[in-house]
Amino acid sequence: MPVPDALEFFIDPGRCIGCQACIQACTECDTHKGQSMIQLDYVNRAHSTQTVPVVCMHCDSPTCAEVCPADAIKRTEDGIVHTAQKPRCIACNNCVLACPFGVPKMQTRMNLMMKCDMCYDRTSVGLKPWCASVCPSQALAFGTREEMARLRPHAKPVNTFQFGRQTIRTKVNIMVPRSAATDIVDVTAAMHEPTIGHEILDDVFNDISDGGDA
Amino acid sequence: MIQSQREVDGPRDLDHATVPPDGRPLADQPKWRRDFPIDWAQDEYVSRRELVKFIVLTSAALTVGQFWIAFKNTFNRQPARLAGERIASVDELSVGGAKTFTYPEGSTPRLLVRIGTTAFVAYDQQCTHLLCPVVPAVELGRLHCPCHNGWFDLHTGRPLAGPPQRPLPKVLLEVRDGMVYATGVEESAT
């Protein structure tokens, strides 16, 4: 049974309080084999306690599936990109490296890539995913667009992202201030700022804009 | 009023839900992309199609193969027409004696066995199991292959025991004027 079209996922990083309830709840999902699929990143730990929860954005053209050499990552008709199929996954890590949002996780003990599948066992029967049902500040929210428009009058959902030269449309929305001029979120814009968890040593995106790939 | 993405784009074609990165339709995509679709439904469709193709082609090949074998056997039953050739004289062998010869020239070794005063039989010496040379056991009325303990009937060449399943090819003989002539080879029918 597909996930109902009217129900959508909204991430509002500005509302995240870093309580990690989503991380705990995620492990409870029946399709997650006890693993948490959520990443909770500090934006800039030295200066702020602000955290950002990252769930799978369920791209229209999933880069993880595009790069999979084993044809293991599949997308159902409702647009949910699923965990790699166990009989096919060869644990090559291509998807982990390719995903613009850093979502797929390699479970080396199982030799299987696992990723957020929006709690398919729950959302496919109309329930909220675990993270959205436990999030106390509703930074992770699951509902209709009308509901969101009513509850968040100062924010608007955006589902178009820019990653280098790649434009990505996603099923999951991110909430940006309504006053924001842009309709596109540049995923890599902040990559050059040093962060605690993810140190980027190679300036690959500068190389691309300089025509370094020619 | 905020519109959902679905209302903006119109209903999504469920068979082609994934839009390739370049946005072109699936028909214009390279073959690998069509063969390895990202969408679950299409992936299952391809697997099913591949399975049906495999089953149909394999069973067709097996059927054709069966007819080919039957066709071949029908025409190979008849002994090959060969020129008669003298291979031994009657006096050369005592009753129960044997000698090898080639017929026609350059063939695999054949075995000639004298089983009575005027009765001779000749077979290909290669066991039909794994081509070991067979040895006559005339007192038992059999031919024995020592490699895997295979037994053949001395009078007909039919396999009696052990691994061989097919009879030994028989050389047709004619005894004339105290001489033994080979006149043809009857290939074993499978």
Contact B157/B139 with Cβ under 8 angstroms?
Answer: no
Contact A3/A9 with Cβ under 8 angstroms?
Answer: no
**Residue A202's pLDDT band (cuts 50, 70, 90):** low
Q: B52 in contact with A at a CB cutoff of 8 Å?
A: no
In angstroms, the CA A175 to CA A143 distance is 13
The pLDDT value recorded for residue A193 is 61
Residues in chain B: 190
* Nearest CA-CA partner of B121 in B177, B168, B187, B190: B168
Show the 3-state SS of B24-67.
CCHHHCCHHHHHCCCEHHHHHHHHHHHHHHHHHHHHHHHHHHHH
What does DSSP assign to residue B116?
S
Judged by CB atoms closer than 8 Å, whether chains meet at A75 and B5 is answered as: no
Tens digit of each residue's pLDDT (9 = 90 or more) over A70-114: 989 999 888 899 999 999 999 999 999 988 888 898 888 889 999
Q: Is the pLDDT of residue B174 over 60?
A: yes
In angstroms, the CA A136 to CA A144 distance is 18
Chain A residues within an 8 Å CB radius of B18: 60-62, 65, 75
Tens digit of each residue's pLDDT (9 = 90 or more) over B11-57: 445 555 677 777 787 788 888 888 888 888 888 887 788 889 999 99
Chain A residues within an 8 Å CB radius of B38: 61-62, 65-66, 73-75
The pLDDT value recorded for residue A138 is 92
* B43-80 burial code (b ≥16 CB/10 A, e <16): beeeeeeeeeeeeeeeeeeeeeeeeeeeeeeeeeeeee
The pLDDT value recorded for residue B74 is 81
Read off the pLDDT of each residue in A15-22 and give the average, rounded to a whole number.
Answer: 91
When scoring A5, A8, A83, A120 by the number of chain B Cβ atoms within 10 A, the one with the most, hence best to mutate, is A5
**Residue A208's pLDDT band (cuts 50, 70, 90):** low
Q: Is the pLDDT of residue A129 over 90?
A: yes
- How does DSSP assign A5-70, residue by residue? TT-EEEE-GGG-----HHHHHHHT-TTTTT----EEEES-TTT---EEEE----BSS-HHHHH-TT
Q: B36 in contact with A at a CB cutoff of 8 Å?
A: yes
**Residue B163's pLDDT band (cuts 50, 70, 90):** very high
Q: Is the pLDDT of residue A62 over 50?
A: yes
Q: Is the pLDDT of residue B5 over 60?
A: no
Entry pTM: 0.59
How many inter-chain contacts (A to B, CB under 8 Å) are there?
50
**Residue A10's pLDDT band (cuts 50, 70, 90):** very high
Distance of CA B91 to the CA centre of its chain: 41
Judged by CB atoms closer than 8 Å, whether chains meet at B19 and A73 is answered as: no
Q: Is the pLDDT of residue A35 over 90?
A: no
Read off the pLDDT of each residue in B172-177 and give the average, rounded to a whole number.
Answer: 89
Contact A38/A55 with Cβ under 8 angstroms?
Answer: yes
Q: Is the pLDDT of residue A197 over 60?
A: no
Q: Is the pLDDT of residue A139 over 80?
A: yes
Q: Which residues 98-157 in chain A show a CB within 8 A of chain B?
A: 145-146, 148-149, 156-157
- Count CA within 13 A, CB hemisphere, residue A17: 7
Q: A66 in contact with B at a CB cutoff of 8 Å?
A: yes
Report the gap between the CA of A27 and the closest CA in chain B (Å): 25
The pLDDT value recorded for residue A214 is 41
The secondary structure element, H or E, covering residue A207 is helix A204-209
**Residue A46's pLDDT band (cuts 50, 70, 90):** confident
In angstroms, the CA B148 to CA B141 distance is 19
Measured over the CA atoms of residue B163, residue B133, residue B117 and residue B166, the dihedral's sign is positive
In angstroms, the CA A73 to CA A69 distance is 10
Q: A174 in contact with B at a CB cutoff of 8 Å?
A: no
Q: What residue has token string 């391809």?
A: B46
Q: What residue has token string 């071949």?
A: B72
When scoring A1, A58, A59, A66 by the number of chain B Cβ atoms within 10 A, the one with the most, hence best to mutate, is A66
The pLDDT value recorded for residue B78 is 63
Higher pLDDT, A122 or B187: A122
Q: Is the pLDDT of residue A166 over 70?
A: yes
The pLDDT value recorded for residue B10 is 46
The pLDDT value recorded for residue A194 is 55
Q: A196 in contact with B at a CB cutoff of 8 Å?
A: no
Q: A61 in contact with B at a CB cutoff of 8 Å?
A: yes
Q: Is the pLDDT of residue B80 over 80?
A: no
Q: A79 in contact with B at a CB cutoff of 8 Å?
A: yes
Which of B4, B18, B40 has its CB closest to that of A145?
B4
Per cent of chain B over pLDDT 90 is 43
The residues, any chain, with a CB within 8 Å of residue A41's CB and separated by 6 or more, are: A51, A52, A54, A195, A197, A198
What does DSSP assign to residue B133?
B
In angstroms, the CA B147 to CA B162 distance is 10
Q: Is the pLDDT of residue B72 over 70?
A: yes
**ipTM of predicted assembly, 2 dp:** 0.71
When scoring A57, A68, A75 by the number of chain B Cβ atoms within 10 A, the one with the most, hence best to mutate, is A75
Query: The tokens of B113 are what?
Result: 């066995």
The pLDDT value recorded for residue B7 is 45
Report the gap between the CA of A151 and the closest CA in chain B (Å): 13
Higher pLDDT, A204 or A57: A57
Report the gap between the CA of A71 and the closest CA in chain B (Å): 6
Tens digit of each residue's pLDDT (9 = 90 or more) over B106-141: 888 999 999 888 889 999 999 999 999 999 999 999
Query: The tokens of A94 are what?
Result: 């291509």
What does DSSP assign to residue B168?
P
The pLDDT value recorded for residue B25 is 79
In angstroms, the CA B116 to CA B99 distance is 15
Chain A residues within an 8 Å CB radius of B13: none
When scoring B6, B18, B35 by the number of chain A Cβ atoms within 10 A, the one with the most, hence best to mutate, is B18
Report the gap between the CA of A66 and the closest CA in chain B (Å): 8
Which of A75, A157, A159 has its CB closest to that of B38?
A75
The mean-pLDDT minimum among A34-38, A54-58, B22-26, B155-159 falls in B22-26
Q: What residue has token string 């800039």?
A: A44
